[in-house]
Amino acid sequence: MMSRTPEPEKETVYLGFGSNLGDRAVYYRRALAALTNAPGVEVIRHSALREYPPMGPAQPDYLNGVIEIRTTLPPRELLGTLQRIEAQLERTREIHWGPRTVDLDILFWGLKILEQEDLKIPHPGACERRFVLEPLSELCPGLVDPKSGRTVREILSKLGRRTMTESRRWKLIAVEGPPGSGKTALASALSERLNARLMLDQIHENPFLELFLADMRRYALHTQISSLLSRCQQQSEVAQPDLFHPVTVTDYMMARDEVFAQVNLSSEEYRLYVHLRSALARNFTRPDIVLFLQARSEFLQPRLKQREERESRRLARAYLDKLIDAYGTYFLHYHDSPVLMLDMEHLDLEHQRMDLDALEREMEQLREGRRMVVPVAL
């Protein structure tokens, strides 16, 4: 009777991914698919993608991530598999540290140490590079570097803090403020800068909005409940992680719904609204930081007039003052997240641009409480 050859044991390996050419997220998905179909390789999980500045010559920023696999392949065969996937995805090797569609590297292979001319495990420099350590710490912060004996968490802690643009330490940034303050423009600019998922309030899709603007008293409750249902649905999407956009920026927080309800509804309607909201508005993701845009109505009214002429809508000055007062009262007692209050009276984002470098520095410094700043225009 012939004895069966035992199957080789699967070993856990961590791979690094990087891309800074073309549609980087698409290349990531294609690399994952190719790894999933590769013989002897099982994809276990992967980190969120993060954007990092490049090393070497001037080139676009990278999207980086880490992929955990289990494999029966020996190291050199796995290296060959990775290089074939890179070639399939149009990787060229013309410039050292140059731009590339896909870069797949073996980072760590258990406690294995391998020193060959073209294959070194752990990967050289892995313990010095944030674009390796940060996504790796998401998957396995207790992983031990066999050369130093330190964990990924310990190595990363020695590197110190970075700016917000590099570290993406916030998962949810909420921009809030009264009509005309520029919240949607700022949220859009931040999301583009941070490669973040953008979620905008869908108030203009409210089927009762036009009726409400024509007869506020009659249609206040209809409009408020419709907005509440829409925002609850969108907030459930905010709570779902996005593989390719670990940061989410919104141009509202759920507080907006309550602020408008206090201004628009009668006492009986407000009690009904609170009852409904308490049943629906559970387990919402708390913003990691709130940017609260402030300005008096005399500064907001001219901006709104320009927009209202395009949209054939009107907001009375007295109504705008009520909203501004309600926002001020709400944030006076709000302590769930750090609040950066931005004085927008002399900065109209419809016609000017904000210095986002300066804004990021202010955001990074604010760890708790609130602070008022006057943003810088470019």
Mean pLDDT value of segment 128-143 = 90
pLDDT band at 181 (very low <50, low <70, confident <90, very high): very high
Tell whether the model's pLDDT for residue 22 goes beyond 80.
yes
How far apart CA 47 and CA 246 sit, in angstroms, is: 10
pLDDT of residue 168: 46
Tell whether the model's pLDDT for residue 78 goes beyond 60.
yes
Q: Domain limits of the chain?
A: 11-160, 165-373
Do residues 221 and 272 touch, judged by C-beta distance below 8 A? yes
Q: For 88-131, how does the pLDDT look when each residue is reduced to its tens digit (9 = 90+)?
A: 997 666 555 567 889 899 999 999 999 988 899 999 888 888 88
How far apart CA 76 and CA 162 sit, in angstroms, is: 36
Mean pLDDT value of segment 327-333 = 89
Do residues 270 and 258 touch, judged by C-beta distance below 8 A? no
pLDDT of residue 237: 79
Mean pLDDT value of segment 177-187 = 93
Mean pLDDT value of segment 57-86 = 90
Q: Look over the chain and give the mean of its residue pLDDT values, rounded to a whole number.
A: 85
Q: In this predicted model, which residue has the larger pLDDT, 21 or 182? A: 182
Query: At residue 13, what is the residue type?
Result: V
With H, G, I as helix, E, B as strand and everything else as coil, classify residue 299: helix
With H, G, I as helix, E, B as strand and everything else as coil, classify residue 292: strand
Work out the burial of residue 122: count CB atoms within 10 Å of its CB; fewer than 13 is exposed, 13-18 middle, 19 or more buried: buried
The answer to which of 11-20, 139-148, 169-178 has the lowest mean pLDDT is 169-178
Tell whether the model's pLDDT for residue 54 goes beyond 80.
no
Q: pTM score, two decimals?
A: 0.57
pLDDT of residue 164: 43
Catalytic residues: 91, 100, 103, 105
Tell whether the model's pLDDT for residue 241 goes beyond 70.
no
pLDDT of residue 152: 93
Q: Of the candidates 81, 91, 78, which has an alpha carbon nearest to the alpha carbon of residue 27?
A: 91
Domains 11-160 and 165-373 equal at CATH topology level: no
Q: In this predicted model, which residue has the larger pLDDT, 284 or 176? A: 176
Do residues 285 and 238 touch, judged by C-beta distance below 8 A? yes
Confirm or reject CATH 3.30.70.560 for domain 11-160, answering yes or no: yes
pLDDT of residue 282: 64
With H, G, I as helix, E, B as strand and everything else as coil, classify residue 236: helix
Kind of pairing between the strands at 172-176 and 103-108: unpaired
pLDDT band at 309 (very low <50, low <70, confident <90, very high): low
Tell whether the model's pLDDT for residue 167 goes beyond 50.
no
With H, G, I as helix, E, B as strand and everything else as coil, classify residue 239: coil
pLDDT of residue 69: 96
Tell whether the model's pLDDT for residue 165 goes beyond 90.
no
How far apart CA 263 and CA 257 sit, in angstroms, is: 10
The answer to which of 119-128, 154-163, 329-338 has the lowest mean pLDDT is 154-163
The count of other CB atoms within 10 Å of the CB of residue 378 is 9
Mean pLDDT value of segment 209-236 = 89
How far apart CA 206 and CA 3 sit, in angstroms, is: 71
Share of the chain above pLDDT 70, in %: 89
How far apart CA 193 and CA 187 sit, in angstroms, is: 10
Query: At residue 119, what is the residue type?
Result: L
Class (C level, CATH) for 165-373 = alpha beta
pLDDT band at 4 (very low <50, low <70, confident <90, very high): low
pLDDT of residue 159: 72
Tokens of 295: 């300005």
